[in-house]
Homo-oligomer: A and B are copies of this chain.
């Protein structure tokens, strides 16, 4: 795991191959298959380690939706801490393998902000998709910037002064805003569009 995180951070996810990892450990590639059934499970464990330090400052009651915002920010920080961190978590998230910790933590934060558990779970899913998508985008742009690739800036985009952090906060605010108006804190569970099913 330590060696894998090293390779990931130094050279990126595409270079994190079983053969390269084996070489870093002075071992034959086949040796890794005694410790992990396959590459996917190795990545899943890596994802857990990346998400793990995403502990939010502290649970605070009262201030509106502050726990949710803090948790989203902490998760972003955790993903940004390793190169291609978002991509690693994204790849394992869909498999049901690992990284449910991220969703669980977001859910807990939303509940701590006073929302019903079922609503919280669904909102956490939406928030998680946004967070991973956004950070993934950030990191891929970083990679292309560092490679000197001229990424064609969106042709008709006049100002590009919103930096990543504020754009991230904007997205979180949209979701939190929707949350606050949909099921307001301490209200019973309520579906968003009655009769939609």
* Residues of chain A having any CB pair with chain B under 8 Å: 90, 93-96, 100, 103, 118, 121-123, 125-126, 128-130, 132-134, 136-137, 140-141, 144, 151-154, 157, 159, 162, 166-167, 169-171, 173-182, 192-193, 196-197
Contacts and interface: CB of A to CB of B under 8 A. Distances in A.
A43 B191 CA distance: 39
A81 B132 CA distance: 24
A137 to B, nearest CB: 5
A175 B173 contact: no
A192 B178 contact: no
Give the interface SS of chain A, mostly helix, strand, loop or mixed. Answer: helix
Contact of A173 (B100, B154, B193): B193
A181 B151 CA distance: 34
B196 A166 contact: yes
| Number of copies of chain A assembled together | 2
Contact of A94 (B118, B137, B181): B137
Given A122-B162, A126-B130, A141-B94, A100 B154 contact: yes
Contacts of A178: 173-179, 181
Nearest to A122: B170
A171 B166 CA distance: 21
Given A122-B171, A129-B133, A177-B179, 6 more contacts: A96-B152, A96-B153, A100-B154, A125-B167, A169-B192, A178-B181
A20 B128 CA distance: 35
A136 B133 CA distance: 11
A153 B96 CA distance: 8
Contacts of A151: 95-96
